[in-house]
Amino acid sequence: MKAIIGVGMVLALLVIVPSVELVMAAGDTPGEYLNRVDVIWSLFYRLMIIAFTVGIVVSGMIVWLVMRFRESNPKAKPTPYEKDGTW
Amino acid sequence: MGNHSTWPEWVYVGVVVALMCYVGAEAWNIERIIEHVPEDAELIKVTGQQWLWTFEHEDGTKEIGELHLEKGKAYHFEIYSKDVIHSFNIHDYVVLMDAVPGRVNTVWFSPDKAGEFDIQCREYCGLIHYNMRGTLIVEDKGA
């Protein structure tokens, strides 16, 4: 459990805290001239990179799980429950 | 159950939560930046009604179906509706804001290219919605 909290804190320091700082840093200063097209499309590209990366990891993991633990895989071993026939 | 390591699961959960935080914070940040109107932006009242757009400049000049703006200047739109919900859209400049009866919505932008651009209603507003269009004419300074 301590390790989990440790990992959580490291992640918080690395990602969550900078993200919050990024948001707060915008402040309430008057707006500057900006190109909406560039700003919005670059946000879209950044978020799409994350979306596709997560999508690839998740779908890859599902495919691997299905292949690895299918019944016909010679490497697949029955769980203790299946082995004993008791639940 | 119970005698295997749960580390990978927790790392996985942590990474996903961190990514979601980043996505939310980044989108929120950009939205805040985009909503900050420059101080010298000119106010233009945009009114949508079935099935045309009218524009009123700060000096009282009114235009129907056509909007003349100056390149490189910032414009702050106040968007009104006289009847049903419309949506004011200048596609080439990624300007999109609903016009809701009884409510004033705002959006700003600064055209950086001279030329003619389409203005279009993006919310189905009745029979002739498809033709609720206008033209944005961006002119060089002093033209």
Q: Where do the structural domains in chain B lie, given as residue ranges? A: 1-36, 42-139
Least confident of A21-25, A40-44, B57-61, B86-90: A21-25
User: In the block, which residue shows the tokens 């233009």?
Assistant: B44
Q: How far apart are CA B53 and CA B89, in angstroms?
A: 11
Contact between residue A8 and residue B14 where contact means Cβ atoms under 8 Å apart: yes
* Mutate which: A1, A20, A33, vs B, most B CBs within 10 A: A33
Inspect the interface and report whether the beta carbons of A15 and B95 lie closer than 8 Å. no
Q: Give me the pLDDT at residue A33, please.
A: 87
> What percent of chain B stands above pLDDT 90?
71
Residues B42-139: name the CATH superfamily. Cupredoxins -  blue copper proteins (2.60.40.420)
Q: Give me the pLDDT at residue B66, please.
A: 95
Token pair, residue A49, equals: 């990179």
The pLDDT tens digits for A26-73 are 556 667 888 889 999 999 999 999 999 989 988 999 999 999 888 888
User: In the block, which residue shows the tokens 């910032």?
Assistant: B74
Residues of B in contact with A50 (CB under 8 A): 19, 22-23
Q: Give me the pLDDT at residue B81, please.
A: 97
Token pair, residue B70, equals: 């100056």
Contact between residue B59 and residue B128 where contact means Cβ atoms under 8 Å apart: no
| B37 against A19, higher pLDDT | B37
Q: Give me the pLDDT at residue A45, please.
A: 95
* Inter-chain CB pairs, A–B, below 8 Å: 84
pTM equals 0.73
Q: Give me the pLDDT at residue B80, please.
A: 97
Q: Give me the pLDDT at residue B2, please.
A: 57
| B3 against B61, higher pLDDT | B61
Q: Give me the pLDDT at residue A23, please.
A: 63
Contact between residue B55 and residue B62 where contact means Cβ atoms under 8 Å apart: yes
CA B71 to chain centre: 18
Q: How far apart are CA B97 and CA B85, in angstroms?
A: 11
The single-letter DSSP state of residue A6 is: H
Q: Give me the pLDDT at residue A60, please.
A: 94
Angle (CA) B143-B38-A32 rounded to 5° is 100
Contacts with B47 (C-beta within 8 Å, 6 or more apart), sequence order: B53, B54, B55, B56, B79, B80, B81, B82, B99
Q: Where are the alpha helices (DSSP H) in chain B?
A: 7-35
Q: How confident is the model at residue B110 (pLDDT cuts 50, 70, 90)?
A: very high
> What percent of chain B stands above pLDDT 70?
97
Q: What is the mean pLDDT of residues A3-14?
A: 80
Token pair, residue B96, equals: 């999109």
| B2 against A82, higher pLDDT | A82
Task: Inform me whether the pLDDT recorded for A24 exceeds 80.
Answer: no
Q: What is the mean pLDDT of residues B79-100?
A: 96
Inspect the interface and report whether the beta carbons of A30 and B39 lie closer than 8 Å. yes
Contact between residue A31 and residue B38 where contact means Cβ atoms under 8 Å apart: yes
Nearest to A55 by CA among B19, B126, B123: B19
- Report the run of H or E that residue B120 belongs to, with start and end: strand B115-121
